[in-house]
Amino acid sequence: MDWIENLRRSFLDWDAMGEVLPMMIAVGLKNTLILAFASTVLGVAIGMALALCGISRSPWLRIPARIYTDVFRGLPAIVTILLIGQGLARAGRELFGPSPYPLGILALGLIAGAYIGEIFRSGIQSVDRGQLDACRALSMSYGQAMRLIIVPQGIRRVLPALVNQFIGNVKDSSLVYFLGLLASEREIFRIGQDQAVVTGNLSPLLLAGVFYLLVTVPLTHLVNLIDNRLRVGRSTTGAGTSGLVEVGELKGAAASVDADTRFNGGSLAVRGLSMAYGEHEVLKDVDLTVRPGSVTCVIGPSGSGKSTLLRCLNRLVEVKGGDILLDGDSILGMKPEKLRRRIGMVFQQFNLFPDHTALENVALSLTRIKRMNKDAADRVAKARLAEVGLAGRQHHRPSRLSGGQQQRVAIARALAMEPEVILFDEVTSALDPELVKGVLTLMADLGRRGMTMVIVTHEMGFARRVADQVVFMDEGRVVEAGSPEAIFDRPQSERLKRFLAEVL
């Protein structure tokens, strides 16, 4: 069996492996890790800049980012490494000295940046649009929303892909030897190859392969672990609460709220409001008066413009014509962030920040927007959570709360900013039926305590019981507005009669 002996001598020459092992660890492994790590760090910095440029509205940022990505992703790594390493050799010598090592890191980093940029971009763009809405409704600027919520969430989602990129850099570092590294700068592959020439067999190279696997295989498992964790984290709904528990939580909370503490509700006046998405006219000449401390329920068929009307009230969308007055002042001249401190909003899909606990969700805008110190913000946040019956769940993340509890955290978050008006956009539509009551009970209580509320709802029973005014919209217009009795018992228009016949 000569050929087996030949193979053994070629690949499993233990003496040759033993001889190269110390150098493989002290020089090769060290250099490979430095090259991979430094180029990944550089790649992350370049990638983040590319991602932010890539999602920018300005073509001056978007187009160069696109070109960069196409070029560095499209070229074979070895071409880039040689072009940078040899093309910039002179400048490199002046900047870094004679060694091509830093240029190798630069080349690997430039290549990695193109891939990491795409990873970041897709991560950031995969963050639910509602997160940005929630940030804006909490009066964060676009930059703050990106920095505090959207980008960190996007990065968290793409952590596995980033680790994969690091693995890619570990492997690509083997190409840098083409630049002619000094002996002390050789990485795993180069040492294996050099020693293979000396020993005349492939054992040192096989050992180099084993070293690559020792670095990359655990990392691959780490990727899977992170991936699983993220998936489990997302799907856990460990709440396990029933509707009865939820209403019970609120009863407990009612005792902690001083029923005499009243909100300082503001007034709204909508005059001749129109709004369009491009050519599509969604609101037409809408007039509406909302008294301080009153509850207005907006009802109407799907697509009639109810949500858009709410979004105009805190300028999440811009109006086309007409005016909106808050306590007599036009909101159109106000800075949107200032306006949104005064008009809070709660969304159908809750839009809580998933990486933050209930307490952090409520406290975030207090520290970041209202500039309260952390202790004071936590005190306020705890009090607001207690008011919505969630004192015992402050440290739960949204994924561990039921839909009803999440919605109550969202209400606490809006309340914490001490708004004069709160807008509710179909806040019970995404809830299981048994969880609806808890949220509606809470909203009715806010109404009793004088909060001005504009509520888009399909809960007709709630509108009849709680509203001071019911507004029926159809095809972008207010068709009828009046007391619940007037709307539900004495509808005037054919359209309202038909709508009520369908929903009641």
Ligand X SMILES: Nc1ncnc2c1ncn2[C@@H]1O[C@H](COP(=O)(O)OP(=O)(O)OP(=O)(O)O)[C@@H](O)[C@H]1O
Nearest distance, CB of residue 304 and ligand X, angstroms = 4
Q: Which is nearer to ligand X, 156 or 458 (CB)?
A: 458
Question: Whose CA is closest to 11, among 170, 191, 206?
Answer: 206
| Residue from 76, 97, 238, 303 in contact with ligand X (CB under 6 A) | 303
Give the C-alpha separation, 228 to 109, whole Å. 28
Q: What residues from 67 to 96 belong to the interface with ligand X (CB under 6 A)? A: none
Q: Which is nearer to ligand X, 202 or 282 (CB)?
A: 282
| Residues with Cβ within 8 Å of residue 59, at least 6 apart in sequence | none
Nearest distance, CB of residue 316 and ligand X, angstroms = 10
Give the C-alpha separation, 32 to 20, whole Å. 16
What does DSSP assign to residue 410?
A: H
Q: Which is nearer to ligand X, 191 or 282 (CB)?
A: 282
Nearest distance, CB of residue 448 and ligand X, angstroms = 26
Q: Which helix (H) or strand (E) holds 207?
A: helix 203-235
Q: What residues from 243 to 282 belong to the interface with ligand X (CB under 6 A)? A: 277, 280, 282
Binding range to ligand X, per CB under 6 A, among 74-82, 300-308, 398-406, 440-448: 300-308
Give the C-alpha separation, 222 to 211, whole Å. 17
| Residues with Cβ within 8 Å of residue 299, at least 6 apart in sequence | 306, 456, 457, 458, 460, 463, 470, 471, 472, 473, 487, 499
By CB under 6 A, residue 129 contacts ligand X: no
**Size, binding site for ligand X by CB under 6 A:** 11
Please report, for residues 382, 408, 470, the alpha-carbon distance to residue 386 in angstroms, rounded to integers and kept in the order given: 6, 10, 30
Q: Name the token pair of 437.
A: 């009551």
Nearest distance, CB of residue 498 and ligand X, angstroms = 16
Nearest distance, CB of residue 190 and ligand X, angstroms = 56
DSSP letter string over 135-170? HHHTT--HHHHIIIIIHHHHHHHTHHHHHHHHHHHH
Q: Which is nearer to ligand X, 166 or 499 (CB)?
A: 499
Q: Name the token pair of 39.
A: 């180029």
Binding range to ligand X, per CB under 6 A, among 106-114, 143-151, 236-244, 298-306: 298-306
Q: Give the position of tokens 């090592």.
A: 101
Nearest distance, CB of residue 486 and ligand X, angstroms = 21
| Residue from 59, 90, 302, 371 in contact with ligand X (CB under 6 A) | 302
Q: Which is nearer to ligand X, 186 or 306 (CB)?
A: 306
By CB under 6 A, residue 304 contacts ligand X: yes
| Residue from 307, 314, 402, 407 in contact with ligand X (CB under 6 A) | 307
Note the Cα 327 to chain centre separation in Å: 34
Q: Tell how strand 343-346 and strand 329-330 pair up.
A: unpaired
Nearest distance, CB of residue 307 and ligand X, angstroms = 3
| Residue from 308, 349, 452, 469 in contact with ligand X (CB under 6 A) | 308
| Residue from 100, 192, 266, 305 in contact with ligand X (CB under 6 A) | 305
Nearest distance, CB of residue 500 and ligand X, angstroms = 16
Nearest distance, CB of residue 340 and ligand X, angstroms = 18
DSSP letter string over 57-94? S-HHHHHHHHHHHHHHHHS-HHHHHHHHHHHTHHHHHH
| Residue from 186, 284, 306, 368 in contact with ligand X (CB under 6 A) | 306
Residues that bind ligand X (CB under 6 A): 277, 280, 282, 300, 302-308
